[in-house]
A = this chain, B = another copy of it.
Amino acid sequence: MSDEQVAAPTNRRRISQRGIATRERILEAANRLMFVRGVNATTLDDVREASQTSKSQLYHHFADKQELVRALVKYRGALVLQRERGGLERLRSFSGLVRWRNALVQANSLNNGRYGCGLGSMAVELSDQDEQARSMLLETFAAWEKLISDGLHRMRDSGALRQDADPEKLATGLMAALQGGYLLANAAHNVAPMEVALDMALEHIKSFLSQPSGEPTR
């Protein structure tokens, strides 16, 4: 999970191992807190306390709160993409997609649908507030969708998916269903809506399979 340094340090002057560790600790704490409380509802004092650091360290590693938030966007994006790469990089069949769905649902069910998607909720909170954060999030979403569409491309090339399937649109649809599912599940404190949403998107992809393996209805 937190191997190597997922957090890209702002290279400039020489930097010690201890410094990197502290920076990582701050980001990790900010990540945790802002995941459950939201970005704007988390204070720097909260982060300071949770990371067992002091004010000066926060400002030693980040110019201000906005920079910390931006670093967090990068950090979280890297984590999500890393995780998703694991589940999607070898995607070659519809059943692989189902496994991917199940993993997401299971993870989210651990907190009864609460908190939603780390990227999605930041996107909602920051898009109209920090242009730079928005564009980083946009890029991350694009990379995430590309992991999906690459998999769908492989399925199409191998003949599993029909030629008239559009991997990019299917990936966007699936991502929207995922994000919408996260949102509704969060409001409901219940994973069920997320399951329904993902199943809809998968059913839609299924309709582009070459051999209609299962019964197409229901």
Q: Which residues of A contact B (CB under 8 A)?
A: 36-38, 40-41, 114-116, 120-121, 123-125, 127-129, 134, 137-138, 141, 162, 164, 169-170, 172-173, 175-181, 183-184, 186-189, 193-194, 196-197, 199-201, 203-204, 207, 216-218
Contact = CB atoms under 8 A, between A and B. Distances in A.
Given A176-B181, A197-B172, A128 B217 contact: no
Q: How many copies does the complex hold?
A: 2
A129 B196 CA distance: 25
Contacts of A134: 187, 189
Nearest to A196: B172
Contacts of A187: 123, 127, 134, 137-138, 141
B164 A193 contact: no
Given A173-B177, A177-B180, A179-B180, A186 B128 contact: yes
A186 B123 CA distance: 8
Greatest chain B CB density within 10 A among A40, A116, A188 is at A188
Contacts of A173: 177, 196-197, 199-200
